[in-house]
């Protein structure tokens, strides 16, 4: 069995490393964050993902997965898989410096039989850039392929075994070598003509997803203006009619959607994409839309606001709050009312993780505690806990004349009618 080195044990690296170990490969994980290495000492990932911790524990015990802070013990690996983050800087430009630093480190440990797999989401041309950087310092031509991660957080350990794996090698040898590896993990591999084509597939996936949400959100914004219900309309339009299948409207973000549109946008010299960035900014504008609506109803001097759901999505559940629209909402609320106390509840994100974003947040372990005497309650994601909330109980617990703003319209049609319940996209419909 081959030896594999996975560089970066974040969300993507950890799930892949452990899945490969589970298939019998000997996997070495390299990670520089001491907190992640500390958590692995207890056979635990630093994030929530169903099945993952059991698989980490099992594969460590079987000697198929180990974690390290340096390359000393992994020099003879057949594959080096880069899963480093590709964040945006303050100007929304992708920062590839961490990837290029790893490239430099790899030039000292790879040999002519090794294959490098780039798995992070990158702008078009990055795989070739890494190839050129390595070729300039090596005496042999390195094998390299771009093989994107496309799993969904919350179901990654299943999807990694079932989704087709896109492969874009710099040459045929590189694609063949990447295929040899991934065909042990999943049943379908799709070999692309170039690394650039594979890079474009990943960006196409996420930009398309963002644009689909943006269309649903645009319809919701229009419906609020027209006093119609977007939920009624989107459901009817898609009913037994395959050409108008839209998601329901709501605030979408997360570690991929919040940045991949910008990465896509920076991939061109002589072309400016027409709709991707507009779609992203429309998706981000929902927070302002909701706050304008609420402040028209109750002014800006509310004393207590509650946010239900800090994770960037609720279905499937995750504890990941990176790029969550709840963070944007918190910043905007503080912008209009700096004295307002903000209370939050999330079933999976820990107090430490939440307070790391804003130390002023009041974190609660139950919905009644978080919503007690609140003036405004925002429901921010579709976690199953919020889908069946008892509105009567919620309003009784809140301050008099409190407002519930349900961004996903989950409680439209709930048996307990209240005229202070509002759903995004159905502002004037209430929940009767
Ligand atoms: N999170 C997702 O669901 C997802 C899905 C598809 C693609 N992606 C893409 O995959 C990439 C990684 O995403 P992520 O969410 O795992 O990011 P992450 O930031 O959680 O993980 C990256 C890890 O790399 C480590 N690291 C940084 N420099 C290092 C070095 N020199 N040596 C060893 N380790 C180093 C960091 O400490 C971190 O733990 C990004 O490009 C992202 O856009 C993410």
CATH number of the domain residue 150 falls in: 3.40.50.720
Band the pLDDT of 414: cuts 50, 70, 90.
Answer: confident
Within this chain, do residues 199 and 87 fall inside the same structural domain, yes or no? no
Residue finishing a domain among 128, 163, 193: 193
Look at residue 430 and tell me whether its pLDDT is greater than 70. Answer: no
Within this chain, do residues 69 and 217 fall inside the same structural domain, yes or no? no
Residue 213, domain extent: 194-432
Within this chain, do residues 199 and 186 fall inside the same structural domain, yes or no? no
Atom of ligand 1 minimally distant from the CA of 260: 43
Within this chain, do residues 166 and 210 fall inside the same structural domain, yes or no? no
Percent over 90 (pLDDT), the chain: 95
What does the pLDDT look like over 361-395, one tens digit per residue?
999 999 999 999 999 999 999 999 999 899 999 99
Q: How far apart are CA 86 and CA 102, in angstroms?
A: 12
If you count them, how many residues does the chain have?
Answer: 432
Q: Is 12 in the pocket of ligand 1 (CB under 6 A)?
A: yes
Query: What does 360-381 look like in DSSP terms, one character per residue?
Result: T-EEESSHHHHHTT-SEEEE-S
Q: Is 36 in the pocket of ligand 1 (CB under 6 A)?
A: yes
Within this chain, do residues 295 and 167 fall inside the same structural domain, yes or no? no
Q: Is 326 in the pocket of ligand 1 (CB under 6 A)?
A: no
What does the pLDDT look like over 172-221, one tens digit per residue?
999 999 999 999 999 999 999 999 999 999 999 999 999 999 999 999 99
Within this chain, do residues 164 and 174 fall inside the same structural domain, yes or no? yes
What token pair was written down for 209?
């997803």
Q: Is 174 in the pocket of ligand 1 (CB under 6 A)?
A: no
Q: How far apart are CA 288 and CA 338, in angstroms?
A: 16
Q: How far apart are CA 22 and CA 32, in angstroms?
A: 23
């Amino acid at each position: 069995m081959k030896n594999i080195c996975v560089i970066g044990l974040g969300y993507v690296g950890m799930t892949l490393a452990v899945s490969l170990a589970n298939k019998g490969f000997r996997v070495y994980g390299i990670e520089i964050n001491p907190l992640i290495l500390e958590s692995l000492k207890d056979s635990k990932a630093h994030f929530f993902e169903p099945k993952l911790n059991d698989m980490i524990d099992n594969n460590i015990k079987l000697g198929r997965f180990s974690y390290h802070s340096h390359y000393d013990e992994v020099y003879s690996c057949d594959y080096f898989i880069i899963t480093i983050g590709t964040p945006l800087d303050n100007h929304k430009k992708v920062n590839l410096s961490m990837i290029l630093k790893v490239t430099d480190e790899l030039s000292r440990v790879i040999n002519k039989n090794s294959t490098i797999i780039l798995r992070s989401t990158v702008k078009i041309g990055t795989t070739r850039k890494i190839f050129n950087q390595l070729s300039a310092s090596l005496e042999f031509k390195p094998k390299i392929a771009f093989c994107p991660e496309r799993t969904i957080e919350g179901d990654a350990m299943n999807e990694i075994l079932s989704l087709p794996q896109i492969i874009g090698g710099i040459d045929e040898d590189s694609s063949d070598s990447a295929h040899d590896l991934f065909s042990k993990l999943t049943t379908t591999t799709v070999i692309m003509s170039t690394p650039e084509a594979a890079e474009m597939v990943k960006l196409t996936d996420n930009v398309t997803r963002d644009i689909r949400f943006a269309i649903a959100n645009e319809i919701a914004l229009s419906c609020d203006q027209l006093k119609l219900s977007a939920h009624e309309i989107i459901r009817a339009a898609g009913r037994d009619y395959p050409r108008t299948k839209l998601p329901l409207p709501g605030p979408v973000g997360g570690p991929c959607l919040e940045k991949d549109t910008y990465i896509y946008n920076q991939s061109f010299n002589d072309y400016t994409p027409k709709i991707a960035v507009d779609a992203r900014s429309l998706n981000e504008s929902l927070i302002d839309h909701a706050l304008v609506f609420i402040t028209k109803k109750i002014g800006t001097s509310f004393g207590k606001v509650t946010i239900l759901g800090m994770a960037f999505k609720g279905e499937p559940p995750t504890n990941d709050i990176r790029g969550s629209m709840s963070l944007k909402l918190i910043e905007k609320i503080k912008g209009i009312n700096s004295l307002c106390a903000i209370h939050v509840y999330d079933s999976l994100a820990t107090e430490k993780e939440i307070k790391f974003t804003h130390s002023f947040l009041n974190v609660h372990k139950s919905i009644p505690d978080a919503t007690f005497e609140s003036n405004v309650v925002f429901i921010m994601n579709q976690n199953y806990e919020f889908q069946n909330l008892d509105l009567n109980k919620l309003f009784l617990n809140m301050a008099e004349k409190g407002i519930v703003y349900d961004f996903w319209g989950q409680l439209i049609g709930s048996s307990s009618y209240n005229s202070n319940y509002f759903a995004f996209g159905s502002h004037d419909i209430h929940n009767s």
